[in-house]
Structure 1
Amino acid sequence: MTATPEPSRPATFGVEAAADQAIAAWGGDAREAVKALLVAVDFLEAETDELRTNVSKGYARGRLPGARERKDEADV
């Protein structure tokens, strides 16, 4: 007997509540909440870049194309 898969929830599920929580964390100031989230995204991107450069090429096996490009740019 084959089970019918349930439709997945929309990607926006919970986003409204998370947005409200972020704004509330900054005392209701949406601009400050957005600035804090931008800083967090920047930090996470930097962490991702660092991890990509530190992962061995044998382990990644070409799955991280950005790492090679960054290495080439650093050699210039």
Structure 2
Amino acid sequence: MKIDSCKASKLVDAYGNAKDASGLAGLLGAKWWPAGVVAGVFYGWAWKNQSAVKKCASKGTGIKFKEVGGVVTGCTAQ
């Protein structure tokens, strides 16, 4: 799954305003993500791995998330 640089920036910016994974999902909106990943699984992973997500987006690029069997396992900059 890939998100563009604008969405990557919004994701990183949302961490400061969210208190948990549900709050992150609420701030970004259910229709915000591309299809293909179960939203709850993604938001949970993104919340627990904030430093990894921030590192993947640190160059102002989009983010490519690796998904295996419906489970997000990592990210890289696009």
Name the structure, 1 or 2, with higher relative contact order (CA <8 Å, separation 6+). Answer: 2
Structure with greater proportional strand content: 2
Larger radius of gyration: 1
TM (normalized to structure 1)?
Answer: 0.26
TM (normalized to structure 2)?
Answer: 0.26
